[in-house]
């Protein structure tokens, strides 16, 4: 049974880069009918916050990801919050100490920092020199009685660690170049390396799928797995995602958070689809797809090895594709909150004219790539028309007036309007005035909307309805008589 985990630290909002790791873990689990686990790595007490855990879970759910084990759903390897597993790490660490695989280090943070600086300046590797490894009993006693706090370090053996990465192939690291690393901080919390190895062991994780930034950490983890007498899991290190500035996506890029995209009204299916396009490509070259349709073809080994740049324009295109295909009712529901905030629509949903709203959505959906953009597209349907000086002048011209009055007269013969009827009316106006193209459409468009741009005229007229159309035209017929 395959078991994978997504293990974020709740130190900020979930961004595209991290979320993508979750997505591929989830996809891998689905592909192999395995278990997807959510584990929260909140051992960094200073930076972790509860609110981020809630937010994280919400964002992941919004994207459509589900997990079989996690802090919110439980599972047989409880708890899934590392902060609640402290006693476990401590017990295992005591064992390491007893077996001589780890030792206490009394170096202070300041001392270490100073040595690192000196090493850097003299061109030497800035790593820990393992000095507390060989402390004499006398020295140990002296440190003990002085009450100095200590960390616990793992004895890194001088060996070559070799492993096969599912994406990168064989990787090897010479561990004689690595200093003994901390597994327990002086405050009794485990370091990331230790917590990861312990939890992956205890939770029977079979495949560790994570970012390439962890590739260099992997040999340390493998050593720890050996110490835990556990066969290391399979590793797959995915390429990372960068912003347009070619710097890694991080909390610094606040705009790339999942909740921000959600707030802007991107459809989760579209975002999910786009994230999968980063580092992976569907065999059939159809870049817009339903996850269910690609699961069987997904091979993690075929994922890209190189980092990719997040392309907002392509996301917008893809998201727009989804908006064009989404069920109109559903789309209308998604639009309502934005229209309410903009004051275009009643707060009391029962008062909303849904039929009209649906027509509006249908008319403007191809102009937007996320739902928040709806607001700037629909004001012509909700606000009074404001005409600029230039437009008044334009509408007052001889030809414009001919068009408007002819159009108006034809409207007078009608009781209702539909896209088809509107097209017929325009044909008639064209015949009667001998004006066509821009000359014909522009006066009507401007009189009706006050703008030169907008959706198709026939759908505007249809949405406005015959009476509003008449009223809006009438106002500019009066201009002529003044």
Binding to RNA by residue 316, rule CB under 7 A? Answer: yes
Binding to RNA by residue 246, rule CB under 7 A? Answer: yes
Strand 151-154 relative to strand 181-184, pairing: antiparallel
Binding to RNA by residue 419, rule CB under 7 A? Answer: no
CA angle centred on 182, ends 111 and 7, rounded to 5°: 130
CB-nearer residue toward RNA: 100 or 123: 123
Stretch that binds RNA, among 51-59, 132-140, 272-280, 343-351 (CB under 7 A): 272-280
Binding to RNA by residue 453, rule CB under 7 A? Answer: yes
Write down the catalytic residue from 30, 140, 251, 288.
251
Find how far residue 278's CA is from the centre of its chain: 12
Q: Which residue in this structure is represented by tokens 């290190």?
A: 237
Q: How far is the CB of 349 from RNA (least distance, A)?
A: 28
CB-nearer residue toward RNA: 34 or 211: 211
Q: How far is the CB of 73 from RNA (least distance, A)?
A: 20
Interface of this chain with RNA, residues 103 to 142, rule: CB under 7 A: 107-109, 112, 116, 123-128
**What is the Cα–Cα distance from 96 to 111, expressed in whole angstroms?**
25
Binding to RNA by residue 452, rule CB under 7 A? Answer: yes
Q: How far is the CB of 18 from RNA (least distance, A)?
A: 9
Binding to RNA by residue 6, rule CB under 7 A? Answer: no
Binding to RNA by residue 182, rule CB under 7 A? Answer: yes
Q: Which two tokens stand for residue 187?
A: 């405050």
Residue from 81, 64, 63 nearest 72 by CA: 81
Please pick, from the candidates 114, 159, 325, 456, the single residue that binds RNA as defined by CB under 7 A. 456
Please pick, from the candidates 228, 273, 454, 463, the single residue that binds RNA as defined by CB under 7 A. 454
**What is the Cα–Cα distance from 128 to 154, expressed in whole angstroms?**
12
**What is the Cα–Cα distance from 297 to 280, expressed in whole angstroms?**
11
Stretch that binds RNA, among 19-27, 224-232, 236-244, 469-477 (CB under 7 A): 236-244
Binding to RNA by residue 216, rule CB under 7 A? Answer: yes
Binding to RNA by residue 404, rule CB under 7 A? Answer: no
Please pick, from the candidates 324, 354, 383, 434, the single residue that binds RNA as defined by CB under 7 A. 324
> Which helix H or strand E contains 13, and what residues bound it?
none
Q: How far is the CB of 93 from RNA (least distance, A)?
A: 13
Q: Rounded to whole angstroms, what are the CA distances from 171 to 163, 179, 451?
A: 6, 19, 62
Interface of this chain with RNA, residues 7 to 26, rule: CB under 7 A: 7-9, 11
Binding to RNA by residue 87, rule CB under 7 A? Answer: no
Residue from 207, 181, 180 nearest 192 by CA: 181
Binding to RNA by residue 278, rule CB under 7 A? Answer: yes
Stretch that binds RNA, among 61-69, 177-185, 228-236, 330-338 (CB under 7 A): 177-185
**What is the Cα–Cα distance from 116 to 155, expressed in whole angstroms?**
19
Residue from 456, 465, 408 nearest 432 by CA: 408
Q: Rounded to whole angstroms, what are the CA distances from 386 to 382, 391, 451, 456?
A: 12, 10, 9, 19
Name the region of 379 (left: φ>0; alpha: ψ -120 to 50; beta: rest). Answer: alpha
For residue 251, indicate whether it is catalytic. yes
Q: How far is the CB of 199 from RNA (least distance, A)?
A: 10
Instruction: Please name the residues in contact with 29: beta carbons below 8 A apart, sequence gap of 6 or more.
Output: 2, 4, 35, 36
Please pick, from the candidates 136, 313, 350, 412, the single residue that binds RNA as defined by CB under 7 A. 313
* DSSP 8-class letter at 351: G
CB-nearer residue toward RNA: 90 or 430: 430
**What is the Cα–Cα distance from 275 to 438, expressed in whole angstroms?**
42
Catalytically annotated residues: 251
């Amino acid at each position: 049974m395959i078991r994978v985990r997504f293990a974020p630290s709740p130190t900020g909002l979930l961004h595209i880069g991290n979320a993508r790791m979750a997505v591929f873990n989830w996809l891998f689990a689905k592909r192999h009918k395995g278990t997807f686990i959510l584990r929260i790595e909140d051992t960094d007490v200073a930076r972790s916050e509860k609110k981020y855990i809630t937010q994280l879970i919400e964002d992941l759910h919004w994207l459509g990801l589900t997990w079989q084990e996690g802090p919110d759903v439980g599972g047989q390897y409880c708890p899934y919050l590392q902060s609640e597993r402290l006693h476990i790490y401590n017990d295992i660490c005591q064992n390491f100490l007893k077996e001589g695989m780890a030792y206490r280090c009394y170096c202070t943070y300041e001392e270490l920092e100073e040595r690192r600086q000196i090493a850097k300046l003299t061109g030497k590797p800035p790593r820990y020199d393992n000095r507390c490894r060989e402390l004499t009993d006398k020295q140990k006693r002296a440190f003990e009685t002085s009450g100095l706090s200590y960390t616990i370090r793992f004895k890194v053996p001088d060996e070559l660690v070799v492993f096969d990465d599912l994406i990168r192939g064989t990787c090897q690291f010479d561990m004689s170049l690595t200093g003994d690393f901390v597994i327990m901080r002086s405050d009794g919390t485990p370091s990331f390396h230790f917590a990861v190895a312990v939890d992956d062991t205890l939770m029977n994780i079979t495949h560790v799928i994570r970012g390439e930034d962890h590739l260099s950490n992997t040999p340390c983890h493998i050593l720890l797995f050996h110490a835990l007498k556990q066969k290391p899991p399979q590793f797959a290190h995915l390429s990372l995602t960068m912003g347009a500035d070619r710097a890694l996506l991080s909390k610094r890029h606040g705009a790339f958070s999942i909740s921000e995209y959600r707030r802007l009204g991107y459809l989760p299916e579209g975002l999910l689809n786009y994230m999968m396009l980063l580092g992976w490509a569907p065999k059939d070259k159809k870049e817009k797809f339903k996850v269910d349709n690609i699961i069987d073809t997904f091979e993690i080994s075929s994922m890209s090895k190189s980092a990719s740049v997040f392309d907002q324009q392509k996301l917008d295109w893809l998201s727009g594709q989804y908006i064009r295909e989404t069920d109109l009712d559903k789309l209308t529901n998604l639009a309502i909150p934005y229209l309410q905030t903009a004051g275009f629509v009643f707060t009391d949903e029962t008062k909303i004219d849904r039929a009209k709203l649906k027509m509006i959505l249908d008319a403007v959906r191809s102009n937007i790539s996320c739902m928040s953009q709806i607001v700037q597209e629909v004001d012509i349907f909700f606000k009074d028309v404001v005409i600029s000086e230039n437009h008044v002048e334009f509408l007052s011209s001889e030809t414009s007036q001919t068009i408007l009055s002819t159009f108006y007269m034809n409207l007078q013969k009608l009781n209702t309007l539909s896209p088809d009827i509107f097209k017929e009316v325009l044909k008639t106006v064209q015949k009667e005035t001998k004006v066509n193209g821009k000359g014909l459409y522009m006066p009507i468009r401007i009189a009706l909307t006050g703008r030169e741009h907008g959706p198709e005229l026939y759908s505007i007229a249809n949405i406005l309805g015959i009476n509003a159309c008449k009223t809006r035209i009438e106002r500019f017929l009066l201009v002529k008589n003044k």
